[in-house]
Structure 1
Amino acid sequence: MIHLACTHGNLGYWDFYSTVMKVEDIVDDKRIITVSESAELFSENINEILQREINLKRIKAISEYISSNDERFLGSIVVAIHKGEPKWTEIDLNQSFKIDDDIIDEKSLAFLNGKFGVLTLTGNEQIFALDGQHRLMGLRKTLKDYPELGELEVPVVFVIHNHERLDKTRRLFTVLNKYAEKPKGAELIILDEDDCAAIVARKLVSDHEILSKGSALSTTKSGSMPNSDNYSLTTLVTISSINKILFNKRPAYYTVRPSDDQLESHYEEATAFWDSVFDTFPEINQYLNKEANVTINSKPIYRNHESGGSLLLRPVGQKLLAFAFTKFGDDEIELFKERLSKIDFNLSNSIWKYLFWNEKMVTGENRLKKNLILYLLGKFDDESYIHSEMSRIYELNNDIYTHNISPV
């Protein structure tokens, strides 16, 4: 039996009770289970489908976050409770008392009355998580691997499930899992305080001499440049993606905030890449300053949806440069810049024709794209592969490749 300090509220159909529970009380004897572990809401075959939706990598990431981060915090797990005999004991506030020497007025006291109490669970109840399945599974893994963390407290919201109205609980499960808007794209990068790629991306657009310019960053929330944006250089999502290319860490690394020294080191890595690009092509800075008639190698630098423009102004091109940059050692940065400056990045060039641009940006062929940029920069020596693959690409577009591509 456990006693939980709660506040009681009501929102439309649902009475709910907000509380905190120790990890060990949630996990031990599976006091709280997932929907797929319950036979209450859905049939067995539906539960099997739900079980397959459980993402083991996400569970591991949550467990590592809880066990490794002193600033750990989880959002409330919303659970439905039925069976057994849960007991609500209200704490009576029908008395005058003061807060900061002010007596609470009767209207405020009337609202507070009935909101505080103790929810007692005997252990005979069945409690299943309507929202927070992965957090629940992450807590199980955490307690298994780190039993000393069992005293940690987690926010939990109880709703009272009525077996006679399964439709109500199913609808609540749907609302919580389908319609709840979770941060993603640029919004997630703005909010994330653990992912070093996101943290460094924010620092770059705040502190870097060029990337901090208002014209450098598109306002889009995705990693793609809108057709209507003919002036910005890149996106926040692209900068974060480039950071992950540069840092080259396993996915789990981005779930735990590194030390300040590590973050500074990562910032220097990212700055080295962007400085190399801007040193090689100072015309990009002129473009961002909205100077007229800016050219690279006597060709205008621009981006539009009609003729493509420069690959340097495309997120996919910037990520390709970041990949190539990682293949040069710290003592080869000047070599990287020298060779990079000799490449024509205009999308109408035969190098990129059909591979990146064919009346619109072309996706796919990622292996060939990476090997091609390395070939141009002298870091890939399988010449026959390049010519064979480019011939294939040209043939797919009813054109003939003339073997005119060679390292700079």
Structure 2
Amino acid sequence: MDQDITSQLRQQESEEKEALALLLERHLSRQEQLFVQKTKMGTAQSYLGSVTLEWLASRVSFALQLQLFRRKYDQKTHNIIRDSETIEELQQRPLDWSRQAHLAQYLAVLKNHKFPPILVVISKDWVNDPNAIEWDSECRADVSVDDFTSLDKNDSIGLLNIGKNYSIFALDGQHRLMGIQGLMELLQTGKLDIYNKDKKATGNPITLDDLIEEYDLDPIALQSLSKEKIGIEIIPAVIKGETYEEARRRVRSVFVHVNRMAISLSKGQLVLLNEDDGFAIVSRRLAITHPLLKDRDEKDWNSRVNWDSATIASKSTVLTTLQALQNMTEGYLEDKFPQWKSKNKKNLISLRPDDQEIEEGLKLISKLFDGLASLPSYRQLEQGVKTYELRRFNHEKGGGEGNFLFRPVGQIALAQALGFLVFGKEMQLESIIKKIIYFDEIGGFSYMDRYQSIWYGVLYDPMKKRIQVSGKKLASRLLIYLLGGVKDDLEKAEIRRALAEARTIEEKTIDFQGNFVNPKKGRFT
């Protein structure tokens, strides 16, 4: 008896599911309807659903194209023209079109790609027509823009009308929309232009053939990307009972707050989270494994890596930053693993290296840091000397040694030079480290702010009395020169000339004795 009842219940449940499936299939086959769940947070009502990338790219426009926002609108860049009349409209940073190609490639190339849902507003023509019958005598809306058909007694799930007579605009996720539109253009035309921030074409376009060849992609699988789905949350442009101005303020308020809450990640945080860049992965592992960098379980221990900021404060006890470690890792290993870098000539992105390459890269950079840890300057840390004592210039509050090795820009320049010598010139790291130890012992890295230093005018700006990052390339070339990596006489002369120029102020060059000299007659040639 019980078995018969159970069997009947199961059959009834199966029939109900089948009936529901047929009902949904009939309704969802209509292009003008979207299956959604109604939600409400505070007074803000919205609908949650999902759409194909192809649909999103063709049907959704950028927020500032919404009539509720528009004043002076640039049709090309999709940004509001900045002037005294439109400053109140600038509720979000302008669209950065230089990101489109990278976002499109991310979707095309990475198998585990994922974009968060996009927040959009849905509108109709009558919203912007003050004479439309939908506005009553008090200029309030008689109806809401959204046309929702409930499918349950709680009015929580149902079908939302999204027919061609509706306009849809992205409030949050405009760069995601930009990337998806770029992907669709790439799939449909076979190429995608590379833009700068203001949507001016730069360089050669990306081609679908380049992607297929470079990343061994399946052309059929690529075309199927257009049918992938992304989450979408929809809010109505006007709700019943609102005036036009009230609706505008409500939508603008949502627009402002969702973007204000989206805090940009710092450079250090980007390195920390990056799982596709081989140099970032290796630098993170280096920071937590190498004795010179990793934290120790000691009472008065101060972390030696700034995991967040790309700069070091004057009183900071850190030795370097995670961003600098990534740049050092890239500078040292780029000749060994050129495939880890993005294919700039074709404007293509890089992919995560395999685990074996990552392990090899970690061993190589760890060996470099073993050598660096033996430098006299770094050995002072084990004697209790604080990093800021060695980093600060003498004229700064508290004074210091102004040591090249305690400045991120110096660390990066050194790693780049050593990478070139080891992997480009095939010199032995051990012999190079011995030369660097000697150079450090005779004060070669100390007191950059004194004219006796080779780094004076290169990494130290004597006029502004501060570090100048622009001298990093020359600093790296000088290190290569000093360590015996330059054999060509013309190249040697060019480096000496560049050094003289770096030490030239108002057409007067400062030599290593502090005298103003003619660079052609001084000790630079």
The interval holding the TM-score normalised by the smaller chain is 0.7 to 0.9
> How far apart are 1:157 and its partner, in Å?
1.4
1:226-282 deviation digits (Å, cap 9, x = unpaired): 1111x3221111112223333351267766433333433443443343334235x26
Aligned with 1:384 (options 493, 504, 511): 493
Aligned with 1:194 (options 276, 289, 294): 276
- Aligned residue for 1:101? none
- The yes-or-no answer on 1:263 pairing with 2:358 is yes
Secondary structure class of the residue paired with 1:58: helix
Q: 1:287 to 1:160 in 2, by over 3 A?
A: farther
- Aligned residue for 1:11? 41
> How far apart are 1:49 and its partner, in Å?
5.0
- Aligned residue for 1:340? 436
Q: 1:261 to 1:91 in 2, by over 3 A?
A: farther
Q: Which runs of 5 or more residues in structure 1 are unaligned?
A: 94-112, 295-299
Aligned with 1:303 (options 379, 386, 391): 391
- Aligned residue for 1:158? 234
Aligned with 1:368 (options 471, 474, 477): 474
Secondary structure class of the residue paired with 2:105: helix
> How far apart are 1:384 and its partner, in Å?
3.4
Q: 1:261 to 1:140 in 2, by over 3 A?
A: farther
Secondary structure class of the residue paired with 2:51: strand
Q: 1:116 to 1:209 in 2, by over 3 A?
A: farther
- Aligned residue for 2:101? 60
Contact 2:105 2:348 in 1 (8 A): no
Q: 1:18 to 1:241 in 2, by over 3 A?
A: farther
Secondary structure class of the residue paired with 2:224: helix
Q: How many residues are matched?
A: 377
Tell me, in whole angstroms, the C-alpha distance in 2 between the residues paired with 1:131 and 1:223. Answer: 28
1:1-26 deviation digits (Å, cap 9, x = unpaired): 25433332233453222222221222
> How far apart are 1:195 and its partner, in Å?
2.9
The percent identity for this pair of structures is 23
Secondary structure class of the residue paired with 1:80: strand
Q: 1:191 to 1:20 in 2, by over 3 A?
A: same
Q: For CA contacts below 8 A with separation 6 or more, give which structure has more relative contact order.
A: 1
Q: What letter is aligned with 1:75?
A: P
> How far apart are 1:39 and its partner, in Å?
5.1
- What is the Cα-based RMSD across aligned positions, in Å? 3.3
Q: 1:183 to 1:293 in 2, by over 3 A?
A: closer
Aligned with 1:74 (options 115, 121, 126): 115
1:223-238 matches, within 5 Å, as 223-229=310-316, 231-238=317-324
Give the TM-score normalised by structure 1: 0.79
Q: 1:259 to 1:292 in 2, by over 3 A?
A: closer
Q: 1:386 to 1:283 in 2, by over 3 A?
A: closer
Tell me, in whole angstroms, the C-alpha distance in 2 between the residues paired with 1:269 and 1:259. Answer: 16
> How far apart are 1:127 and its partner, in Å?
0.5
Q: What letter is aligned with 1:340?
A: I
Q: What letter is aligned with 1:328?
A: L
- Aligned residue for 2:414? 321
Q: What letter is aligned with 1:58?
A: R
Q: Which runs of 5 or more residues in structure 2 are unaligned?
A: 1-30, 81-93, 126-144, 188-221, 297-301, 513-521
Q: Which has the larger radius of gyration?
A: 2
Secondary structure class of the residue paired with 1:43: coil
Q: What letter is aligned with 1:194?
A: D
1:35-46 matches, within 5 Å, as 35=63, 41-46=69-74
Q: 1:37 to 1:271 in 2, by over 3 A?
A: farther
1:237-252 matches, within 5 Å, as 237-245=323-331, 246-247=333-334, 249-250=341-342
> How far apart are 1:38 and its partner, in Å?
5.0
1:152-192 deviation digits (Å, cap 9, x = unpaired): 12111111113923343334333334552122222222223
Tell me, in whole angstroms, the C-alpha distance in 2 between the residues paired with 1:227 and 1:301. Answer: 9
- Aligned residue for 1:33? 61
Q: 1:320 to 1:238 in 2, by over 3 A?
A: same
Contact 1:16 1:159 in 2 (8 A): yes
Secondary structure class of the residue paired with 2:101: helix
Q: What letter is aligned with 2:454?
A: I
1:373-399 deviation digits (Å, cap 9, x = unpaired): 222223345343344343344341876
> How far apart are 1:31 and its partner, in Å?
1.0
Contact 1:64 1:256 in 2 (8 A): no
Q: 1:116 to 1:404 in 2, by over 3 A?
A: farther
Q: 1:159 to 1:369 in 2, by over 3 A?
A: same
Q: 1:47 to 1:184 in 2, by over 3 A?
A: farther
> How far apart are 1:208 and its partner, in Å?
2.7
